[in-house]
A and B are shown apart, each in its own frame.
Chain A
Amino acid sequence: MSSNKSSNVSEKTEQISGKQEFSIGEILKKRGVSRRDFLKFCSAMTAAMSLPASFAPTVAQALDEVKRPTLVWLNFQDCTGDSEALLRAANPTVGELILDILSVDYHETIMAAAGHQADEALESTITKYKGKYICVVEGSISMKDGGVYGCTSGKTHLEIARRVCGSAFATIAIGTCAAYGGIAAAIPNPTGAVGVRDAVPGATIINLPGCPCNADNLTATVVHYLVFGKIPALDSHGRPLFAYGKRIHDNCERRPHFDAGQYVEIWGDEGHRKGFCLYKMGCKGPATFHNCPTQRYNEKTSWPVAAGHPCAGCSEPQFWDAMGPMYKRLPNVPGFGIEHTADKIGLGMAVGVGAAFAVHGAISALRKDKDPAEKTKED
């Protein structure tokens, strides 16, 4: 594909990144990535963005021409699971693409620089590319007591987030913690943890929740930005519709078993071995929006339900509290003990009401009430 006709998109991204560097296509060629592998990657990304296959050449052309964007990666209160997921991307070519092409200019976990050097690198990146770089945030932000529970090089995460995310072109909150506070924000939330959207109101934020986030969804989000020069369409939780627009339950490979009424009843039973639906084991697929069934994890190898574990609902807000108990379908009734399901309480109520009326009926049968007709004489 020739790159002498400069497309609108590449100009725009050049402006944004401000770098006079090689285009992604050129970098790839230098790295020895074959054209075939590159096109395969482009088709995979087109599919991940829920675009029709006919878009693949457009994606390839745009990536050929576009300059690499500047990306800053911040780690806050997290387990580094999302970085892990990214680094462990199974296919080395795609892994390289993600790491080298998207050029992480600052990433505390994997950068060579440390200490003041690292601080300087961050500082210079965000001043030089103000309003043009992409910031990726991993982990929640502590808000309580001025945010003192989470600090990096003497600054609170809150302070860093407000500064770095505030002047980014867009911030990608990767993983459930960065998106909604995640595990750290679970009751009783001792550090007052929140997601980036609550810590830096007003910033442009793309939430990519998931525990961990599927690396393909991150790549697809960045590719979307490179190809179209804007952030993807988001749902009301700030998640890209291409990845979070469908419910797990509606795309699940076990769905035919759900509709057939075939369920796993206990772990390891015959149904479990046959791949029946995990609904009765507390699957939260009916309440969770994510592309796990189609995109799957680790180069489309597997995902929890395929492996025989119910969906935990990890990409929904406050999942640790809202989606619990993990192996029960319905939440516990607030104020009652954990063994009291809604139905036990309901049945108790119904039996109580029934019994009360049975007693009432018995008394009424024995009791001689005045006939209404007697009273009419008084009328």
Chain B
Amino acid sequence: MSEPLIFKRYYVWQLPVRICHWVNALSILLLSITGFLIGYPVIAGSSPQSFVMGWVRFIHFVAGYALIISVISRLLWSLNDHCFSGWREYFPFLTKEGRAEILVMLKFYFFIDRKTPDAVGHNPLAVTAYVGLFLIFFGMFASGFALYAEHAPGGVMATALKPVYLLMSTQTMHLYHHIGMWLIICFVINHIYSVWLLDIKEKGGEITSIFSGYKYTTKVHVFSEGKECDENGCFIRVKK
């Protein structure tokens, strides 16, 4: 290891990906705080004219709209043909290479192997958690907007969400909405920890990547979906 290491810079997170990420993170933060306060209101107004709970709910709904717009935008962006943000990245377990990478990841996490993974794009295990997270998001959207639309039964939103009302009672929606929040909080703990861990172990600039868009690697060739990628995240040639 005396020869100097050559790090190559890869543009992994395009601007829309980063914007969506931070809109998601901010709205989740707001939604969890205000959601908790809706469930357990602890800040009391001093007079009936104050609007404390009113504002808490207002922030919750605005953040809810921000999150759904951001998540849908990210899903649409994943239709583009980019190495690291395309939708195929999210399903590594569908390909043989992907499954092998997940195994490396798992071995690392469970201290079975000392070999540190070096994912240039998404971490294959994290990506699997994102799929779960997005499913929870959609559960939150369904229950959240169905609860929201109850102020105007027969309105456009309530009519569009009819299947949700048929599926569960309002009380069940409140309960699932609540449980969903805790699942998301668990994800966030896991997520921030893993990002921090891999930042240290992979030495690829993981944490800064979600601000700047760049990750670093000493790998000679970087592949995604079995195709090689260039520094800008564009596919350059089919492997083999």
Contacts and interface: CB of A to CB of B under 8 A. Distances in A.
B144 to A, nearest CB: 14
Contact of B170 (A261, A287, A369): A287
A323 B175 CA distance: 11
A372 B189 contact: no
Interface in A256-276: 256-263
Q: Is the interface of A mostly helix, strand, loop or mixed?
A: helix
Most buried by B among A246, A259, A287, A354: A259
A357 interface: yes
A331 B172 contact: yes
A346 B182 CA distance: 5
A262 B45 contact: yes
Contacts of A241: 154
B153 A322 contact: no
B182 A379 contact: no
Interface string A324-368: 000001110100000000110111011001100100110110011
Contact of A372 (B40, B116, B166): B116
Given A342-B178, A353-B190, A369-B116, A257 B219 contact: no
A329 B170 CA distance: 11
Contacts of B174: 287, 329-331
A346 B178 contact: yes
B171 A323 contact: yes
Interface residues of A, number: 56
Interface string B101-123: 00000001101001111100000
B186 A261 contact: no
Nearest to B52: A261
A357 B41 contact: no
B175 A357 contact: no
Given A260-B45, A287-B171, A368 B114 contact: yes
Contact of B175 (A261, A316, A331, A364): A331
B45 A330 contact: no
Indicate the member of A250, A261, A289 with the most B CB atoms within 10 Å.
Answer: A261
A316 B169 contact: yes
Given A247-B151, A330-B174, A331-B171, A376 B51 contact: no
Contacts of A286: 150, 170
Interface residues of B, number: 58
Given A322-B172, A371-B116, A330 B39 contact: yes
Contacts of A284: 171
B167 interface: no
B171 A330 contact: yes
Contact of A375 (B40, B115, B169): B115
Contacts of B189: 350, 353-354, 357
B165 interface: yes
Contacts of B190: 353, 357
Contacts of B170: 286-287, 316
B1 interface: yes
B237 interface: no
A371 B203 contact: yes
B111 A367 contact: yes
Contacts of A374: 1
A371 B54 CA distance: 53
Contact of A350 (B186, B197, B218): B186
A22 to B, nearest CB: 39
B53 A235 contact: no
A317 interface: yes
Contacts of B178: 330, 342-343, 346
A281 to B, nearest CB: 12
Counting chain B CB atoms within 10 Å of each CB, which of A263, A287, A373 scores highest? A373
Contacts of B175: 330-331, 333, 342
A289 B111 contact: no
Nearest to B193: A357
A263 B41 contact: yes
Interface of A: 235-236, 241, 245-247, 250, 256-263, 279-280, 284, 286-287, 289, 313, 316-318, 322-323, 329-331, 333, 342-343, 345-347, 349-350, 353-354, 357, 360-361, 363-364, 367-376, 379
Given A286-B150, A372-B217, 8 more contacts: A241-B154, A289-B153, A317-B169, A346-B181, A353-B190, A360-B109, A361-B193, A374-B1
28 contacts: A247-B151, A259-B53, A259-B54, A260-B48, A260-B49, A260-B53, A286-B170, A313-B171, A316-B169, A317-B169, A322-B169, A329-B39, A331-B174, A333-B179, A345-B182, A346-B182, A347-B182, A349-B183, A350-B182, A360-B197, A369-B108, A371-B203, A372-B116, A372-B204, A373-B5, A379-B219, A379-B220, A379-B221
